[in-house]
Chains A and B, each alone.
Chain A
Amino acid sequence: MKQFKLEIISPNAIVFEKEIDLVILPGSEGDFGILKDHMPFLTSLRVGIVYIYLEKKIIETFLVTGGIVEVSQNRCSLLTEEVINTNSVSSKSKTEESSNKDEINLKRLKEKALEKLYYT
């Protein structure tokens, strides 16, 4: 499969930057996937989970609370104010050395997400 570049940028850091095969995003009008050679595209996101695929496997998932996605010339940029890598949170709680802050953050985000979903 041909690959393209995805970058997830938050105000605090570049969270993710890699060549990938496919990304599934929670668009405000419904979920959508982006592959290589997608046409220039600009949309807003709702609360949801971003799935990133490489070689037919999910390599990372992120929880986002909204944001903007821009696709142009085989570059997909996701700009979001709040983003959490769900892998890191679940693996941490498995090993029971849970960093409380992350969990609280995740909980808060989930509550926010549910609230938003409830109202829309």
Chain B
Amino acid sequence: MRAGILRSPSPLPGFGLSFGIMMAVLSIVVLLPIVALLGHGLAIGPADLWGMVSSRRIRAALALSFRAALVASLFNLVFGLVLAWVLVRYRFWGRRLIDAAIDLPFALPTAVAGIALTALYAPNGAFGQLLAPLGLRVAYTEIGIWLALIFIGLPFVVRTVQPVIEEVDREVEEVSATLGARRAYTLRRVVLPTLTPALLTGFALALARSVGEYGSVIFIAGNLPFQTEIAPLLIVIRLEEYNHEAATAIGLAMLLIAFAMLLAINAIQIWSRRRIGDV
């Protein structure tokens, strides 16, 4: 009775085994912990949860996490598009090295990135010294948080847009040019619309990752309450105080943001599939 209405028949074996392994690991590693978090939230009750989340310090931390992630992801949206375009369309010395380096933020542990950025941008660091005379402080300010989030979010837009640019039909651009469109007009009105779904997907992925980022940020942030204290750090602080209720409240708020972004990503993909066939 395994098959039945839920599964259409297939001659291949191993459904029970593979499905079983998948569900077992998924449940133990991902679903049960998430359910435990939701369960704790229910036990605390919506009113108390809301009370905690709307406390000034938590609100400031959540707002900072979201705002910094938005700034960094917007930067990565623009820069990622330029980067992907240059890597696909132009041939220049060092192109392959840069292409390979794009994935550095995926491969480099976040804590390593965090201390490296701090070393560079601290007032006595290589870049910090250059920026200090300009009156620009990066380390231990919100700008430092932006920088860390730009670093970790950089590959997302590039890697989602790059394959789509490779697919863009050059003949369409030629047609546009023969019809008298200037290059800038062609890029804006012909090329950009085909890239929009991939751009949005990459942006949403970068945003989702940046909102919850911890390791690369805490070293450079300075971690002052109300100013440079991100939401994940506040969870850690509350946990260290054994204040599981407050930690749960912040965790649930962040989980809600994560779910919303996951929905947004799926919606973008469904929308773009309807519009141009595939992402």
Whether both chains belong to one complex is answered with: no
A interface residues with partner B (beta carbon < 8 Å): none
